[in-house]
Structure 1
Amino acid sequence: MECSNGPCKMKLQFAYLKQHVEHECSYRTVMCKYEPLGCDWKGLAKDSKKHKKMCTTRELNASQLLRQVMAKNAQENNERERLKQIDNKYIEVTKIWESRCRNIVTRDVVLESGQSFDGEGVIHSRPFHALHHSWVVEIKQVKEKNENNKNNVETTRLKLRMGLENESKLRHRLLLHICVLRGPDTSQEFHPITFECEISRKDLYSQWVDFPIVGSMSSFAESLASEINLRVVLVDKRRGEVSHSFRADDDRGTSESSFEVDNYSDARKLYSNDNYLMQLIPTKFLFFKKKKK
């Protein structure tokens, strides 16, 4: 078999391939010998001797090495803390799924390709139906001044909110816990978003929350050339008994609330099953018969 390290074309028996790729190949990637002391050089094994002669870490005195090691440890701790926060967000999403609530609805929401920010710096998703209302997701481009920067250079951040369309008629206020995750076939990465909000007649939109993308604003602008799919979870936190649609139907073995359909044409297909309709007819007939008496 042939070595997988770039330009190396050496052919070996499978039994010796791993040893060669990881420990012997001149084109394998290695770290500097003084990496534990703070040197961040990384390169090919064949270039390691050349770097060793030029490595500045070798020439540092004890106090300088100590400061460099402390800076390296602080950077590693910050990275571990960042990854821990991301893991905690996924754990929080899991706990929300386990929470007591009236209903949980999941929707795949689409930001259409080719969109650009409007005059107010906002892009909109396609409307989608959930909890008997029509919703929309908005992402806003916000410019903020960095107080830590002496030159007062503006930084661009993204904010997200969700709300009802104007034509949606809201009878009662909604207490929601909302989770936004990256949907399938989406190149733009971002960390999970969770927030609570209250939707009422006076305020049809949630508050703006941070939309923590991975990468720069330019990479996000490039991702708008194709569709962006968001997986939105709406948890109805109002008091009351759990909705019947939240529980799995014993006959069909499915739960309507997990991934409900996004348009009414699909809903017709879902309930067009003859067996399912035949189960409903006797129940309705008995109900009207009792009512007549």
Structure 2
Amino acid sequence: MSEAEPATSSSELPPEPSVTVEIMDDFTEPEAKKRKVSTSIRNLDSKTDKLEQRLGGILCCAVCLDLPRAAVYQCSNGHLMCAGCFTHVLADARLRDEMATCPNCRVEISKASATRNLAVENAVSELPSECQFCNKEYPRNTLEKHEESVCEERISGCKYSRIGCPWRGPVHESKQHESECAHPHRSGLEIMDALQVIDQQTANERKLFDSIFELLGYEKITFNDLQLKPYRTEEFVHRLFYETSRFSAFNNQWVLKARINNMQKDPTQSSEREMTYQLILKTKTTVPLSMHFLILRGPFGDMKIHPRIHKFDFSEQENESPYVPLALSDSAECNRLLASKTINFRLVLFLASK
């Protein structure tokens, strides 16, 4: 029995090392660890590649969620707004007769309390952005110049467009098109329509300049540098209007009044904004006053306006001119004016002698 026992034990011992070897082989298998390391490296690379996108999400405007193109404003808590959205928020608050607040944290904001963030402006200007024509990426501070004068894929017109050629295409194809363009070989009768459109545009511009020079020859001319200040009607809180203080011209008292979107019930519901104005005679007159008037930017204002001449005959019965458009450059300019406490401008008046 003593001999059998060692034999039995010797027969059971050999399988144990083989099991141990198999377990060790499983634990020393490097493939799983290699896969985990390679995955982490790929994730790191993808994060590095998306750094610009992540920065764009951090530095974007809190209102439009787009990267600012120019000035960047921030509230007292550091939330960012581009210049267009900042003025739009202030304009909406003006229309609602409320204090403007940050769209993120609702802290009060104003032109006095909000500050420019120059660091963000510089950082955004260095972020890459795609050219809309060639789809290549360039720093945002050079993209505008690239799209306007450098990019070979930018859209260009034919140099014979003035005589009716409608072709538009990439600038690098313009020379080939112009060498094959049929419009230079057309007869005068065939290009008359295009010339008439150009003549009409030139005639309108010429008429404006001729009218201004004619008015400058009037005996009675005066101008006033004025301020439009915001007021509200009692009918509806959103009905904002602007009015100047009384001013003197030609021995009479006048007031200029302006309104938003032709007194739309709630202008905050519209993204398009416009201003119209009227001239009001405040004193009684015994003789009719034939007035020409126009609004200019003036030395104390900064509005972007295209001057337009308007005419109205004032009398004792008709002492208010109809509302006429204030020819601002665009809706964004109207928002910028609404965001200001006052609107400075120059009013020029011409009185026709009887």
TM-score of the pair, normalised by structure 1: 0.47
More helix by share: 2
The structure with higher relative contact order (CA 8 Å, sep 6+) is: 1
